[in-house]
Structure formats: structure tokens, C-alpha cells
Amino acid sequence: MNQVDYLRISLIDRCNFRCQYCMPEGAELDYILKQQLLTDEELLTLIEEVFIPVGFTRFRLTGGEPLLRPRVVELVGAIASLPQTQDLSMTTNGFLLAPMAQNLYDAGLRRINISLDSLDPDTFDQIIGNHGRGRWEQVWDGIQVAHHVGFDPLKLNVVVIPGVNDGEIIDLAALTIDKQWHVRFIEFMPIGNADLFGSSGWIASEDIRQNIRQRWGLTESQVRGNGPADVFQIPGAKGTLGFISQMSECFCDRCNRMRLSADGWLRPCLLNENGQIDLKTALRHGVSTAQLREEVRVLLTIKPEINFKQRDPGNTKGVYTRTMSQIGG
């Protein structure tokens, strides 16, 4: 079991997209009220007095869409300035990124993951569930600005959905040839949209790799990331290809992370809520950070027993109705 030193922090559960694999089409979502969100002060208290003392040194800011969080640049600066912070990154859909990229970089953010599930604007609109003029173009502009500002590595996340964007695997992989970009293909998971998952299923990472091998060849890369991706490279390419294979190649034994939801729940596993701790309520009721540290330490010791493989046995289809934005990504 890897050392658990990586915390994914959801800043907000709201998003300006409604991606097929994240939010059920037509469903009304119960968003967290503003007063239920962890405040900046509460979040920083938890990071400094609970998480860092028990060994967390790497943090990723997620959502929902984290750039919708008020004062997000200032929050990035506060976390980046902590001497114990060894790595700070963010996952975003990129729609609001272009005008904010430089300020985020100046505040101390150095690594960024941007969702880009299609290079075709019409397919992109179909996936994100928003049909508005210029949405793909605005995301693409955000990617270009982030590259120009100097984010390195700049990663592009692709959730592969059969019959929707699987025909673009070669075109998306080609983005790594001339630029030092890192494209990560993610197996479609049973979260959020059970109907879509049931009708589409998922494509195994090995099948995606084989598709790319037939076009260019593929070698294992010497570059390694902070997460569960298996990293490969097209021969001679500047960037890399990552494959996150949570459906076909369970990586629970390599998991090095926990997740903090926007309303303060600490969860040891993306798809297993056993052992979760309500840190926000405890903090607001006067529980000391020393006591919270001990509770987190205990959770760390039992984390190997709380994983994707031991998820709810009553969920026979393995499909979860909670959305990715509600879980925290």
C-alpha cells in the first residue's frame, strides 16, 4: 500500500457543464447551500492543523468546477504558500480558464488538468450537455493560454464513451506528438448516469492502447505521475499518454489519496463511503483539531480495507447514482 499523502479537495459542487458521465440528464441536483460549504478559513485550518500534520503534502483542487469558487486565486495562493505544500494542482473544465490562468500561475499553481473529451465542437456539446455558441472554442482557448503561461505538465483528461468519442482516440493521442502535453484516457465509470453506462458500457484501456499501437507503436514512458495512470509514449513524441483503468485493472492497492468534499466530508474512496468523517460539522461544533487529527490517523490505518472492490454489495450492477460533482472527482 502506498503512503497516503495526496488529498483531492472539492471547492464547490456546482459546475457550468452537465457532462453525460457526471450528471444525469434531466435530473434536478441538490446543490450544497453556500453556508454548508467549507469556508476558506475552515479549509485552511483543516489543511494546516489536520492534514499536513498526519502526512498530506500534495493537494489537488477539484469541483464541480473549482474556478466557480469565489476568491479561488487567493485560496490557491494561501495553500501554495504553506511551507509543507510539496505539490498543488487543479482539475478544471477549462471554460473559465483563459482570463484566470496567469493569476493562478502567479499565485503558485503549477500543474493543471483540463477536461477535453472531444476535438469536435458538436460532439463536445453533446458530451457536456450544454449547447451554446463557442463553448469548445473557449475551452480550447483556455488550454492554449495555460500552455503559454507555462503550466507543466499540462494534462488533458479524456473520458472514453463508446459510440460517442471513441472514434477520436487517435486524434486526441496525436496532441502529444508535437507539444509536451499529457493526454490521459479514463475508462468510463458507473457514476452519475446509470442509463448511459448501461447502454454504452466502457472500453478497456488495453483496447485503447492497442488502437494507438497499430497507428504509431507505443512504449512505456519514464515519466511517472502522482496518480494511478499507467504512462506510455508514442515513439519520438514530446508528451505522454496516460491510462486510468479503474474498471479493467483495479488499482486500489496503489491508491495514495483521500477526498474532501465541498461540504467537509473526508472520504477514503471514490466509490465506497465506509469510514467517511464529517469534519466540517465537527469543526463547527468545537471539536479540537487535535481530535480530528486522531480520527484521520485512524481512517488512514483502515483505508486499505475501504476500497472500490469492497463497495456496497447491495449495488448489484455497480452503478452509482451520486454524481461525480457531488463526490468531488
Residue 226 in 3-state DSSP? Answer: coil
228 secondary structure, DSSP code: S
Looking at residue 209, its pLDDT comes to 97
Q: In a structure prediction context, what are the per-residue pLDDT tens digits for the chain, which is 329 residues long?
A: 578 999 999 999 998 888 877 765 665 666 777 889 999 999 999 999 999 999 999 999 999 999 999 999 999 999 999 999 999 999 999 999 999 999 999 999 999 999 999 999 999 999 888 666 789 999 999 999 999 999 988 999 999 999 999 999 999 999 999 999 999 999 887 665 555 545 557 899 999 999 999 999 999 987 766 667 899 999 999 999 999 887 777 666 778 889 999 999 999 887 666 779 999 999 999 999 999 999 999 999 988 776 655 555 444 344 444 555 555 55
CA–CA separation, 295 and 46 (whole Å): 13
CA–CA separation, 56 and 260 (whole Å): 12
Reading phi first (left if > 0) and then psi (alpha if -120 to 50, else beta), residue 268 is in alpha
The answer to whether 20 and 125 have CB atoms below 8 angstroms apart is no
147-184 burial by CB neighbour count: b if 16+ within 10 A, else e?
A: bebebebbbbbbbbbeebbbebbeebbbbbeeeebbbb
The CATH code of the domain at 6-327 is 3.20.20.70
The contacts of residue 307 (CB under 8 Å, 6+ apart) are 252, 255, 269, 272
Looking at residue 300, its pLDDT comes to 93
Looking at residue 29, its pLDDT comes to 64
Scanning the chain, the segments in alpha helix (DSSP H) are 40-46, 72-80, 101-107, 121-128, 135-149, 169-173, 175-178, 194-200, 205-216, 279-284, 289-302, 324-327
Looking at residue 197, its pLDDT comes to 46
Cβ count near 39 (within 10 Å): 14
The whole model's pTM is what?
A: 0.89
Segments making up each domain of the chain, as ranges? 6-327
Strands 265-267 and 277-278: antiparallel
CA-closest candidate to residue 116, choices 132, 137, 99: 137
CA–CA separation, 141 and 157 (whole Å): 16
Looking at residue 321, its pLDDT comes to 47
Looking at residue 255, its pLDDT comes to 81
48 secondary structure, DSSP code: I
What single-letter amino acid sits at 166?
D
